[in-house]
């Protein structure tokens, strides 16, 4: 009887040890870092009219209550040795979750587009966000907060203003290999109002390689003379995640 108890206890200890080892191995494999690099074809109309290639990268780091995200994309093109597009955009956001569905955020965006009528545009915002919908298939986040914008039109002095930022971020996981996203972002200021809509569909091709179709519409109510209020960008890209 004692031997049976001893054997049972030993087996139980070994089983627990194996489970703990498996969990530790799983944790080691699950890195808090994720990154995606994309290369794609772009057709733009508005302030930039061209057909060219775009490079972009997204990086995210998430641990416990913190999530940090960064985005960078560049667009360059030329026709007969004449530059027709030259744009650099950078964005970053940090979220701190203080409740299961609630978080504070800090957001920064910078753009240098030689064909927009602005030498640069930069925005900074802090505020409150909430996971309005959170299911296996659907996610909807809403964000609101005050911010600050600084910009410089071509051949004019720089200017700045306070703003109010509103954002709605929706994600629909269609299946294990495809997803649909819709982002709506609005910045309200006394000098400038900006609307941004990004609609995207991503589907997996093979393991970490996916195909992404995206349509971006941006509206500025006040633009330098000779520039359009609307910029539209259609992108077809191949993204690799690692």
- The pLDDT tens digits for 89-131 are 999 999 999 999 999 999 999 999 988 999 999 999 999 999 9
- The pLDDT tens digits for 9-27 are 444 334 444 544 444 454 4
Per DSSP, the residues of the chain read -HHHHHHHHHHHHHHHHHHHHHHHHHHHHS-SEEEEEEEEEEEEESS--EEEEEEEEEEEEEETTEEEEEEEEEEEEEETTEEEEEEEEEEEEEEEESSSSEEEEEEEEEEEETTTTEEEEEEEEEEEEEEEEE-SSEEEEEEEEEEEEEEEETTS--EEEEEEEEEEEEEEEEETTEEEEEEEEEEEESS-EEEEEEEEEEEEEETTEEEEEEEEEEEESS--TT--SEEEEEEEEEEEE-
Q: What is the pTM of this model?
A: 0.83
Task: Give me the chain's average pLDDT, please.
Answer: 87
- The pLDDT tens digits for 48-67 are 666 778 899 999 999 999 99
Q: For the domain made up of 32-241, give the CATH fold.
A: Porin (2.40.160)
Domain residue ranges in the chain? 1-30, 32-241
- The pLDDT tens digits for 169-198 are 999 999 999 999 999 999 999 999 999 999
Task: Report the percent of the chain where pLDDT is more than 90.
Answer: 68
């Amino acid at each position: 009887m004692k031997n049976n108890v001893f054997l049972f206890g030993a087996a139980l200890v070994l089983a627990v040890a194996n489970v703990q080892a498996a969990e530790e191995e799983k944790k080691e494999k699950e890195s808090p870092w994720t990154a995606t690099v994309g290369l794609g074809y772009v057709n733009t109309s508005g302030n930039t009219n061209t057909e060219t290639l775009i490079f972009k990268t997204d990086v995210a780091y998430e641990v416990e209550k913190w999530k940090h995200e960064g985005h960078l994309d560049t667009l360059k093109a030329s026709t007969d040795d004449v530059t027709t597009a030259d744009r650099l955009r950078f964005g970053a956001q940090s979220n701190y979750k203080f409740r299961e569905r609630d978080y504070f955020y800090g957001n920064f965006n910078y753009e240098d587009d030689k064909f927009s009528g602005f030498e640069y545009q930069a925005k900074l915002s802090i505020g409150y966000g909430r996971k309005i919908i959170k299911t296996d298939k659907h996610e909807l986040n809403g964000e609101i907060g005050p911010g600050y914008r600084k910009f410089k039109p071509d051949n004019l002095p720089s200017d700045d203003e306070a703003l109010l930022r509103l954002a709605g971020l929706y994600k629909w996981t269609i299946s294990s290999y495809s997803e649909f996203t819709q982002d709506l972002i609005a910045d309200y200021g006394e000098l400038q109002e900006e609307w941004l809509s990004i609609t995207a569909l991503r589907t997996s091709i093979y393991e970490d390689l996916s195909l992404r179709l995206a349509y971006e519409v941006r509206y500025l109510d006040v633009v330098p003379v000779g520039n359009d209020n609307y910029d539209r960008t259609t992108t077809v890209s191949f993204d690799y995640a690692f």
